[in-house]
């Protein structure tokens, strides 16, 4: 389970800071290299879209890591926000019922 303190960074922010910026690349250059529209990559980087499984595969190939790395970033981001929205006190616990 994730700690409930500060929210994790959006995967697009990590992509921008750690993978695009540190290599001196442009969004246009990376979008072309990934065979995707610049507007779509920009939407990911700006936190308006998430990392899809297909994009995760492309990013893993482009940057030499795994698709699972990108999927985990996205899942952790989404799970943190889901944890904030769900009222756990209102949920009935079925694991306490004897079988």
Residue pair 73/14 in contact by the 8 Å Cβ criterion: yes
Binning pLDDT at 50, 70 and 90, where does residue 95 land?
confident
Rounded Cα–Cα distance for residues 99 and 96 (Å): 9
Here the tokens at position 83 are: 């944890």
Sorted by where each starts, the structural domains of the chain and their CATH numbers stand as: 11-85 (1.10.260.40)
pLDDT, tens digit (0-9, with 9 covering 90-100), for 14-56: 999 999 999 999 999 999 999 999 999 999 999 999 999 999 9
pLDDT, tens digit (0-9, with 9 covering 90-100), for 56-74: 999 999 999 999 999 999 9
Kindly report whether the global pTM for this prediction surpasses the value 0.75.
Answer: yes
């Amino acid at each position: 389970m994730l700690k409930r303190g500060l929210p994790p960074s959006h995967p697009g922010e990590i992509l921008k800071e750690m993978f695009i910026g540190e290599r001196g690349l442009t969004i246009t250059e990376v979008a072309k290299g990934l065979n995707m529209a610049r507007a779509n990559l920009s939407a990911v980087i700006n936190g308006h879209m998430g990392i899809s499984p297909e994009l995760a595969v492309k990013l893993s190939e482009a940057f030499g890591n795994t698709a699972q790395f990108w999927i985990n970033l996205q899942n952790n981001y989404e799970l943190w926000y889901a944890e904030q929205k769900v009222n756990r006190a209102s949920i009935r616990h079925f694991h306490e019922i004897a079988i």
